[in-house]
Amino acid sequence: MPVSTAVHSLAGAVRKQEQGLLNCVHCGFCLPACPTYRRLGDEADSPRGRLYLMQAVVEGRLDPGAEAFQTHIGRCLGCRACEPVCPSGVEYGHLLELARQVGGDARRPPIPARALLRVFGTAWMARPAMFAGRVLRATGLPALLTRILAGRRPPKGARLAVAMLAASAPPPPLPGRAEARPETVTQRRLEDKPTVGVLDGCVQAGLFSRVNQATVRVLRANGYRVVSVPNQGCCGALHAHGGDLDAARSLARRNLEAFEAAGVDIVALNASGCGATMAEYGSLLADDEEMAPRARALASRVRDISQLLAERGPIPGGSVPLKVTYDAPCHLLHAQGVADPPARVLDSIPGLDVVPLPGAAECCGGAGIYGLTNPRLGGWIGSDKVRAVLGTGAAALVTGNPGCMMQIGAGLALTGAGIPVLHLVELLDESYRRGGLYGKAGR
Amino acid sequence: MIDSGVDRVVPVLSVLPEDRVLVGESARDWARGRSNGPGWMPGDPEVPVIVFPASVEEVSALVRVANEKGMRLLPAGLGSWLGGGGWTHARDVIVSCVRLNAVEHYEPADLTLTAGAGLGMTELDGVLRPNGQWLPMDAPGADAGTVGGLVACGVSGAMQGRYGAVRDNVLGIDVVTGAGRMLRIGGRVVKNVAGYDLVRLFTGSRGSLGIITSVSVRLFPRPETDVTLCYAGRAAEMAALAHAMCTSSLPVAAVGLEAGNGDTICTARLLGSAGEVEEARSRLIDNAGQEPRRIVRDDESALLHRERAAWEEGSALVVRLAALPDRLADTFERARVLAGALGGGVAADALRGAVRVKASPDAGRDEDIVRALSRARGEMEEAGGSMTLSQARGKVAARVGWAGGRGSAPALGARIKELFDPASVLASRCP
Amino acid sequence: MVPATLAKSLVEICGRDGVILDEDRLLVYESDALTAYRHRPGAVVLPRSTEQVQGAVRAVAEHGLPIVPRGAGTGLSGGAVALDGAVVIGTARMNRILDIDAPNRRAVLQPGVINAELSAAARVHGLYYAPDPSSQTTCTIGGNVAENSGGPHCLKYGVTSRYVTGLAVVLADGSVVRLGGQGREAAGYDLVGLFVGSEGCFGIATEIEVGLLPVPEGVRTLLGIFDRIDDAGQAVSDIVSAGLLPAALEIIDGPTIRAVEDSVFAAGYPTDAEAALVIEFDGLKAGLDEDVERAAVLCERAGAREVRSARDEEERIALWKGRKKAFGAMGRIAPDLLVQDATVPRTTLPAILRGISEIGERYDLVVANVFHAGDGNLHPNILFDRRDEHELERVERASKEIMQLCVDSGGTITGEHGVGLDKKHHMELIYGPDELAAMWGVRRAFDPGGVMNPGKVLPEGAGGD
């Protein structure tokens, strides 16, 4: 078997984990945390099993092109729910990216997946694609199709794609209205006013620009100085998760330079998938002698929007009388370990009734381009999430990542339940608008 | 043909000295004084033989002789459970282990004790009491028996919910199997998963697989406070109260129901530290919504429950009706109907949903008894429960059957019997 | 690799996605949580129902191949390892709770239900499932039944066999027997009790009935910090002798403390201590303060440097997490780990702990102890690096000496992990040929053809064949 450089770097990483005594002791604590194992019951679809397969490749017992390696590494959602429960501290997410690279070298990923990554990573391709998406969305055709296609079948394939696009549309007006006492609340004036740059992101900028705009407004309302960061781009998350580490690195370098040039104290993220990747730029660029220290420095400044808001309270706005439930994005909860701040933000919104979502910590099945690579399993996981949301009786679902918004939103739309999915900041933004924090002009 | 007992006594005398073999009238006297008084012995034309081995080697020699001569042995302790279905043939030789009664190992701080199977439960309690410990296995009639008998019968009492069943508290046993093998299984540590759990197999096997010569048991600290609340009222009302007490989250050690001629009595026993018991007492009364008729404490409470455990003593016919605990009211009612037919009383262990019925000595003709029992069994099994005989005369037992037809895996049981007692020298019925 | 005819019938029974035949995919089933033993199975079957288990058992047995039942593969004795190309029957897909009967405090489940998830489901009714092995967040009830699992709270509440009240078992011939069941008192031997702890050698339990307990309304947890492990052992003896019955009494020694504190489960134990004693009381709130106070005094008298009380539920959970995840955290201080499991009479604990540490010193090995002190159930973990052959040999010798030491004190070779493959040859330390022959006989009564999990538990030739 020819040993590729990718296998070398996976071997190196496994060795490094061993030397750092972060190796898998095969205890099996990760099994129930893994959405794919829970559904399939095959240990090869568990983190422990996948690590075992990686180890087998490193030991030369298994060809990375083998069906077993391709299938089971490919089936991983990359949700990293296994990391917090691992007593040995195995850095699974990192090993997975290397394993994907090894797998990709041995066998090219399917064309649609490669094409999609290419589009996201290349600005001149991304912009028109997103524009086309917005145009199509604006026609109302996806929404109409979604209504037609609604039914009990699990969301997957073209049905899912159409519904996802529809689900990225702005939510309908929320119940309640603006309050007539704008003078009572004033914007917080603080001595300490850190400079914040917001990652616009690719999908976020393309389909969720309203969330980006809301992010800027709520940050300002909470006393942050938001500056624009020109020349930034896709964070590389989808590429890294897919094992295209070279592409991810070049995207990381570009962002590194852009944010350094902007001179920000904090990099704010409203897409937790991007947040997790940027927070790990240090290890992504670890082998780049010149960039590594700079990457580590930038990574240490990465904060999720919910953290920044929670640190400031956040300041209260107007009432939004709505029953909502919250789903924790994997890359926020598991990869970044951010558990409480979103709850604190929700708690700060007057009138909001937050009910717990059973299985909120489990992946929704969105997982980047998972719907494309593993439609059946993704659909299964997605419909479980949708069922859980419907079971809460909430009128809206709140989360903090565009991928999750589209995945769950599509699933909900296909049930015909008419439950919108909101980004955390959208909801806070609406509360601030109603509370008059932005002045009488509204938005 | 009148049997003189000689054909059984002669081979026995080759292993035991004469003074440890009882035959004829003296054997009848021993049995009469100790057993639960079923009619198996006095009226029997056969001559009983009872032997008292004083060592494991003697037990083993007896089993060997039995295998050679085709004798049948009936393992026993003080004889208090012999009416429990063991006595199938008067010609069997009763092997009483009462001489194997040494306390072999007792380290109070380990909360474990190893003793000869023949140690009386009352004597055992005398050993444990000075150290503030006890073996809280209050099986019906246990006080009158031995620790080996407790294990061999494996019947649990009212405190099972709190302390576990007998099977949960036996750590190890020494046994001479029907094939004459001396086995030492389990140990004297509280957690042990080395090999298959033969200790549990022998616990409750009623001497059908081997003669238990020594047992190691797990002990418990004797609770500081012992309080019993006694309520009285109509049967249905008391059954409902008992069930409510069982499903509350309060740590009730035992909940009993007893019906005789007058009111039905419901008792709730609380064990623990003074503070805990006091708290549970006041909350139980709050939950019940009424003051108990009386409250008894400590020695008086213990006595009440000892009497309750010995409730069936002297009855020739004792029956158990069991179903899931939430069916208690129904089970209790069925038991009362049966008790009416048998002219006796009922006592329930509400936590387990089991009700005992004892017949009065003049319960009537066998045919009527058999009919009443068969009907009760049919009804209980229909309701997903069971009716089993605890004590019965051979004739009644033969017609009704000790247990219903729903024995688990009879083929497996038979293979296991064959394994340990291939020549069937042990006379006990399989449990 | 199994014969094609067998592969075909397995697929017919369990569906294409219920049978794993690919050699590469089978790699991950090579071992359980004791990675010292690795054997690739001939196939893995993942049935969803009792009927599928029956069909699979029949098909495999017809082909004369052995069968190994497997739950979550978290066992620590090599019990779920497939020797001689055995077919693994995994229960991961049989993970439904069939009934929670709250008024009768009982539940009926499939074997693949995860221990902690049963408790979580029962909690809605104010009930829980008492046995709590350290791997409870991942291990299955079926596995618990096979191993008769214990856990920290077994001191007060007893082990798995106390709670298992009924079973449906698929025997080696594919037939189903129903054993026990609450609410009826049937004739026969305690075959439920006999089956629990049979390590997959008697059959596969496909339906399990268990008893549940009410959730105690109050829990208080204490932490005693000791500079000498002997003193902690003494405190345990003193607490038990004083008539206190804690829900749990756990000792974590110095090396383990340092491993835990270094992991993501850091519980705030001082890293320079030589022992931490976790004491937990539960029950009615009213009685707890008194118990806690008495235990604290006894700890201090035994020489505790400090006695802390968990201030809130969060602290309590963190404290337990450190204890429960200690095994995994051990990976942080050495590449390899040999987990031992022996029970000794509680009063011999201080002497045994001294003995173990002497053995460790003699062989120049780090032995980290974390164990259920109240039950006398020790887990000396020997840390090593398997790449060092000389060290490996020392580990084996030290391990054997530790085992002998425990047995000599009146103890036994396994308290809760089971015999499996790992301790098969230790069985002769505690049992003679007659006892082993009796166990072989019982095994044959269930499985005359020797189909179920052969090569485990009983040493060959010891009174058997």
Cis peptide before A314 (omega within 30 of 0): yes
Quick one: what percent of chain A has pLDDT higher than 70? Answer: 82
Looking up tokens 């000496």 gives: C401
Looking up tokens 């058997």 gives: C464
* Cβ atoms of residues C35 and A52 within 8 Å: no
- CATH number for position A82: 1.10.1060.10
- Cβ within 8 Å, pair A32-C92: no
CA distance B430 to chain C (A): 6
Which residues, in sequence order, are CB contacts of C13 under 8 Å at separation 6+?
C45, C47, C52, C55, C56, C59
Interval B206-215: pLDDT, tens: 899 999 999 9
pLDDT of residue B34: 58
Instruction: Label residue C279 by pLDDT band (50, 70, 90).
Output: very high
Residue among B251, B386, B413 whose CB faces C284 most closely: B251
* Same-domain check for residues C186 and C285: no
Mean pLDDT of C383-390: 83
pLDDT of residue B375: 93
Interval A22-78: pLDDT, tens: 678 888 999 999 999 999 999 999 999 999 999 898 888 999 899 999 999 989 988
* Same-domain check for residues C70 and C86: yes
Q: Which residues of B touch C464 (CB under 8 A)?
A: none
C330 touching A (Cβ < 8 Å)? yes
Interval B216-250: pLDDT, tens: 999 999 999 999 999 999 999 999 999 999 988 88
Residue A115, in any domain of the structure: no
* Cβ atoms of residues B222 and B302 within 8 Å: no
CA–CA distance, C339 with C393 (Å, rounded to integer): 16
Mean pLDDT of C115-134: 95
Least confident of A50-64, A367-381, C302-316, C343-357: A367-381
Most C-contacting residue of B56, B104, B112, B192 (CB-CB within 10 A), to test interface: B192
- Cβ within 8 Å, pair C442-B416: yes
| Packing angle of the helix pair A111-121, A245-262 (nearest 10 deg) | 10
Instruction: Label residue B155 by pLDDT band (50, 70, 90).
Output: confident
Q: Number of B:C CB contacts under 8 A?
A: 259
Domain count, chain A: 3
Q: Which DSSP symbol is given to B146?
A: B
Q: Number of A:C CB contacts under 8 A?
A: 117
List the domains of chain B with CATH numbers: 6-96 (3.30.43.10), 103-221 (3.30.465.10), 225-309 (3.30.70), 318-400 (3.30.70)
pLDDT of residue A366: 79
* Same-domain check for residues C253 and C399: yes
Of C151, C180, C214, the domain-final residue: C214
How do beta strands B49-51 and B93-96 pair? parallel
* Same-domain check for residues A154 and A214: no
For residue C122, the enclosing domain spans 97-214
Q: Which residues of C touch A72 (CB under 8 A)?
A: 25
* Same-domain check for residues A260 and A190: yes
* Same-domain check for residues A196 and A305: yes
Residue among C186, C193, C376 whose CB faces B197 most closely: C193
pLDDT of residue C258: 86
Q: Is the pLDDT of residue B115 over 90?
A: yes
CA–CA distance, C284 with C287 (Å, rounded to integer): 6
* Same-domain check for residues C236 and C384: yes
Of C90, C114, C134, the domain-final residue: C90
* Cβ atoms of residues A278 and A235 within 8 Å: yes
* Same-domain check for residues C229 and C366: yes
* Same-domain check for residues A391 and A336: yes
Residue among A42, A61, A89 whose CB faces C332 most closely: A89
* Same-domain check for residues A95 and A156: no
* Same-domain check for residues C358 and C228: yes
Extract long-range pairs of A288-294: CB within 8 Å, 24+ residues apart: A288/A249, A288/A253, A291/A253, A291/A256, A294/A256, A294/A260
Q: Which residues of C touch A87 (CB under 8 A)?
A: 263-265, 325-329, 331
* Same-domain check for residues A304 and A356: no
* Same-domain check for residues C71 and C123: no
CA–CA distance, B155 with B85 (Å, rounded to integer): 14
* Same-domain check for residues C237 and C381: yes
Residue A130, in any domain of the structure: no
Least confident of A204-208, A249-253, C58-62, C207-211: A204-208
- CATH number for position C271: 3.40.462.10
Check contact B-C (3+ Cβ pairs < 8 Å): yes
Which residues, in sequence order, are CB contacts of A158 under 8 Å at separation 6+?
none
* Same-domain check for residues C168 and C21: no
C120 touching A (Cβ < 8 Å)? no
Mean pLDDT of B366-377: 92
Instruction: Label residue A156 by pLDDT band (50, 70, 90).
Output: low
- Cβ within 8 Å, pair A31-C72: yes
Nearest residue on chain A to C23, judged by CA atoms? A68
Q: Is the pLDDT of residue C267 over 80?
A: no
Q: Is the pLDDT of residue A21 over 60?
A: no
Mean pLDDT of C34-42: 91
pLDDT of residue A182: 46
Q: Is the pLDDT of residue C131 over 80?
A: yes
Residue A124, in any domain of the structure: no
Residue C416, in any domain of the structure: no
Neighbours of chain C (3+ CB pairs under 8 A): A, B
Interval B319-349: pLDDT, tens: 999 999 999 999 999 999 999 888 889 999 9
Instruction: Label residue C264 by pLDDT band (50, 70, 90).
Output: low
Residue among C147, C287, C423 whose CB faces B276 most closely: C287
Domain count, chain C: 4
Residue C415, in any domain of the structure: no
pLDDT of residue A178: 66
Interface predicted TM-score of the whole assembly (ipTM), two decimals: 0.94
Q: Is the pLDDT of residue C20 over 90?
A: yes
Structure-token pair, residue C259: 């491993």
- Distance of CA A358 to CAs A76, A155, A361, Å? 22, 20, 8
Least confident of A83-87, B232-236, C102-106, C138-142: A83-87
* Same-domain check for residues A21 and A96: yes
CA distance C187 to chain B (A): 4
Residue A215, in any domain of the structure: yes
- CATH number for position C46: 3.30.43.10
pLDDT of residue A312: 86
Nearest residue on chain C to A39, judged by CA atoms? C93
- Cβ within 8 Å, pair A44-C263: no
Residue A116, in any domain of the structure: no
Most A-contacting residue of C138, C261, C370, C387 (CB-CB within 10 A), to test interface: C138
Least confident of B4-18, B261-275, C417-431: B4-18
* Same-domain check for residues A297 and A331: no
* Same-domain check for residues A293 and A204: yes
Of A252, A276, A309, the domain-final residue: A309
Nearest residue on chain B to C342, judged by CA atoms? B192
Q: Is the pLDDT of residue A19 over 70?
A: no
B303 half-sphere exposure, CB direction, 13 A CA radius: 5
Instruction: Label residue A190 by pLDDT band (50, 70, 90).
Output: low
CA distance C432 to chain A (A): 34
Q: Is the pLDDT of residue C342 over 60?
A: yes
Interval A133-155: pLDDT, tens: 767 777 776 776 666 766 666 66
- Distance of CA A281 to CAs A285, A337, C325, Å? 6, 17, 30
Q: Which residues of A touch C117 (CB under 8 A)?
A: 32
pLDDT of residue A313: 84
Mean pLDDT of A433-438: 87
Mean pLDDT of C247-275: 85
CA distance A43 to chain C (A): 7
- Cβ within 8 Å, pair C188-B193: no
* Same-domain check for residues C184 and C223: no
Q: Is the pLDDT of residue B7 over 80?
A: no
Residue C372, in any domain of the structure: yes
Instruction: Label residue B408 by pLDDT band (50, 70, 90).
Output: low
Q: Is the pLDDT of residue A1 over 50?
A: no
A301 touching C (Cβ < 8 Å)? no
Cis peptide before C66 (omega within 30 of 0): no
Q: Is the pLDDT of residue B285 over 90?
A: yes
* Same-domain check for residues C199 and C169: yes
* C-alpha closest to that of B203 among C196, C111, C205: C196
Of C214, C236, C259, the domain-final residue: C214
Q: Which amino acid is at A258?
A: A
* Same-domain check for residues A407 and A303: no
Please name the residues between 98 and 117 in chain B that touch chain C, using a CB distance below 8 Å: 107-112
Of A50, A84, A106, the domain-final residue: A106
Residue among C194, C419, C436 whose CB faces B197 most closely: C194
pLDDT of residue C50: 97
Residue A40, in any domain of the structure: yes
For residue A191, the enclosing domain spans 182-309
pLDDT of residue A365: 84
Interval A282-323: pLDDT, tens: 888 888 888 888 889 888 899 999 998 898 888 898 999 999
**What's chain C's average pLDDT?**
91
Check contact A-C (3+ Cβ pairs < 8 Å): yes
pLDDT of residue C165: 95
Structure-token pair, residue A160: 């899912």
Nearest residue on chain C to B133, judged by CA atoms? C243
* Same-domain check for residues A256 and A328: no
- CATH number for position A290: 1.20.1050
Of A264, A281, A309, the domain-final residue: A309
* Same-domain check for residues C154 and C282: no
Please name the residues between 282 and 341 in chain B that touch chain C, using a CB distance below 8 Å: 320, 322-327
Instruction: Label residue B38 by pLDDT band (50, 70, 90).
Output: very low
Distance of CA C460 to the CA centre of its chain: 24
Q: Is the pLDDT of residue B103 over 90?
A: yes
Q: Which residues of A touch C36 (CB under 8 A)?
A: none
CB atoms within 10 A of CB B368: 12
* Same-domain check for residues A317 and A238: no
